[in-house]
Amino acid sequence: MTDTRSDVIARPEHGLTRRDFVKVCTAAAAAVGLPAWAGEKMAEEVARAKPSVVWLHFQECTGCTESLLRSSHPDVASLILDLISVDYHETLFAAAGAQIEAAFDAAVERGGYVLVVEGAIPEKDGGIYCQVGGRKATDILRLAATKAAAVVAIGSCASWGGVPSAAPNPTGATGVPQILKGKPVVTLPGCPANPYNLLGTVLQFATFGTLPKLDAQGRPLFAYARVIHEDCPRRPHFDAGRFAAAYGDENHRNGYCLYKLGCKGPQTHANCSLLSFCEVPGAWPIGIGHPCIGCTEQGVVFNVPIHENLPIQTPTAPMAYPAIHPDHGVVASSPIAIGVGGVIVGAIAGAAVVATKKVGDSDKPARKE
């Protein structure tokens, strides 16, 4: 893990070509909403010094690491050898026992790393339910955080507790922000989280020294500002009132909207429909015919039954909006503007009613397309 960028370019069999390297950085920049030139800058910066990453595992299934390992652009070898320096990661290390504990202590001693935490942290009974090398998860996390330049909680477990915190939460599992109160923590919830969201966040920090803009739950807006329902490929079916009513029925086989099967897309903030997992188009729940379970939302996943319908908070668009044309001029507080505003508010209210009616009507046989 000590290769420099110039070594890798000189020995392309050990890594990416320069062109591929810039491409990966550009994709990571695009993932976090930065322009293409930021990719070039990231490539330059990473060539100079790869960001150091210390990755902790606590109560989890290692799904977020698995997702990272299965990304193909870059593949995991390029990721670790070329883009980031993983200075501690229990799953990826060949070493074990005393050797890996020494690597952790050495990394903490150096400091200045991006601390990535995967998994929930149990607090009940003094935190005895998760220990690594005889050290409690709470103590390891607090120690690692003292020397970290930035902290990222990857996955729903680390973000707020995830599945280990589901009722009755026997171990008192909670998330990184709850343990490190007062310290900025970027949360990337998801079960698993998309590795590009992590890569983009780490490379942005390493290059510009800044973290992405976050929402109230610490989630980067570039990935979590919109709900799945807004960018879902099945949305035209929702708007047209075409719903699958049962798995395997004709409407389901036709790829219709999954709302009636309990889809939580209308309340789930994530970019799954826009950023493919492991670069496989359609490789996400709705893409393969299962409703979204709301895995990025603390109040939804593991709280609301998978097949229970949620209310639509953002009404569907009406079939037609009032025309927008430059001739209409500036929408100020003129009587016309007030009238147009009234129409829009009325349309949104009406849309909610229409959405309810469409869902109610959806038991009728599907229209053959």
Binding residues with ligand SF4: total (CB under 6 A): 14
**Residues 170-209: x/- map of binding to ligand SF4 (CB under 6 A)?**
----------------------------------------
For residue 160, the minimal CB distance to ligand SF4 (Å) is 22
Identify the residue among 50, 89, 229, 358 touching ligand SF4 (CB under 6 A): 229
As measured in angstroms, the least distance from the Cβ of 356 to ligand SF4 is: 13
Q: Answer yes or no whether residue 164 interacts with ligand SF4 by CB under 6 A.
A: no
Strands 135-136 and 148-154: unpaired
* Nearest-10 crossing angle of helices 36-48, 18-31: 120
Q: Contact 144/196 with Cβ under 8 angstroms?
A: no
265 binds ligand SF4 per the rule CB under 6 A = yes
For residues 100 and 62, what is the distance between their CA atoms, to the nearest angstrom?
18
Stretch that binds ligand SF4, among 97-105, 215-223, 263-271, 296-304 (CB under 6 A): 263-271
Tokens describing residue 39 = 């990719």
249 class by beta-carbon count within 10 Å (0-12 exposed, 13-18 middle, 19+ buried): middle
CA 88 to chain centre: 22
Cβ-proximal residues to 152 (8 Å cutoff; 6+ apart), any chain? 114, 115, 116, 117, 185, 186, 187, 188, 198, 201, 202
3-state secondary structure of 159: helix
Report the residue from 113, 259, 277, 284 that binds ligand SF4 according to the rule CB under 6 A: 259
Residue 266 CB, shortest distance to ligand SF4, in Å, is 6
Does 141 help bind ligand SF4 (rule: CB under 6 A)? Answer: no
Instruction: Output the furthest CA–CA distance in the chain (Å, rounded).
Output: 76
CA 113 to chain CA mean position, Å: 21
How many C-beta atoms surround the C-beta of residue 236 within 10 A?
Answer: 11
> Which residues in the 280-299 window bind ligand SF4 by CB under 6 A?
286, 292
The smaller minimum CB distance to ligand SF4, of residues 21 and 284, is found at: 284
Could you say whether residue 234 binds ligand SF4 (CB under 6 A)? yes
Q: Using CB under 6 A, which of the segments 16-24, 119-127, 224-232, 275-283 binds ligand SF4? A: 224-232
* CB nearer ligand SF4, residue 161 or residue 265: 265
Interacting stretch for ligand SF4, rule CB under 6 A, among 105-113, 200-208, 262-270, 344-352?
A: 262-270
Binding site for ligand SF4 (CB under 6 A): 228-229, 232, 234-235, 238, 257-259, 263, 265-266, 286, 292
